Amino acid sequence: MAVACSAVLTSCGGAGDGRGGAAHSPQGGGRAADRPTTDFKRIPDVGDRLRSRIPKNARQVVAVYGEGENSAASTVVLYTKRGETWKKERSWPAHNGKKGWTRDHRENDKRSPVGVFTLTDAGGVLADPGSGLPYTRTASLQAPRYWPRTHWHDFDYVIAIDYNRVPGTPPNDPTRPQGQAKGGSIWLHMDHGSGTSGCVSLSKAGMRRLLRALDPKQHPVVVMGDRAALKA
């Protein structure tokens, strides 16, 4: 448990995360930013560099649009592919690393990694809300009580982003195939109203929606980065 808790502390939380982040959606708020669905031939505002990294069998994409390279504010959009068309299902206000984004993520740099990553595993402190992904409920994900109270529920729901981790393991598995220096424990998790240590956070309602929507048979991935990096 000590190893797992350490991974959480150094990557997805910490007492400093509530300071200096961009003001955005508070935890527990979370009406979707828009309700209408829209169809696209390709994921909007994602250039050829990252689009080419989306697996051909991926039919669900969680796109994280960061407002700027050094901004902690972002928007999460869920797209599903129907035939040859991508449908925009929902979007939510979100946060990313408190210092923004990087293409070379390092441990404790407080930036979220730019890239395309698979989504294979989920978990949380709370009971499974009906997740399509394998879900591990464990008290070891509980945020320490010496963190600010606003952060205590960050890991009630978690979706592991497969950056420097072993797919098919619980989100807090400490194994880092690329080594400790490359960071890890990069997750989608619940929002506390400001930037994170590298994760992407959104409302409880948004997390529940994603957990129920993502289907391993659709090979879901996350495409994430600041808008300029995404368009490159």
What residues are annotated to the active site?
Answer: 189, 199
- Let me know: does 61 contact 50? Beta carbons within 8 Å: no
Helix (H) or strand (E) holding 80: strand 73-82
Amino acid residing at 8: V
**C-beta of residue 172 within 8 angstroms of C-beta of residue 140:** yes
3-state helix, strand, coil in the chain (%, to 5): 20, 30, 55
State the Rg of the chain over Cα: 16
Q: How far is the C-alpha of 166 from the C-alpha of 160, rounded, in Å?
A: 10
Q: How far is residue 119's CA from residue 122's CA, in Å, rounded to a whole number?
A: 8
- By the 8 A CB rule, do 109 and 198 touch? yes
Check: CB of residue 64 under 8 Å from CB of residue 32. Answer: no
Dmax over CA atoms of the chain, in Å, equals 49
Neighbouring-strand partners of residue 86: 40, 81
Q: Alpha helix locations (H) across 102-144?
A: none
Per the CB < 8 A criterion, the answer to whether 65 and 45 are in contact is: yes
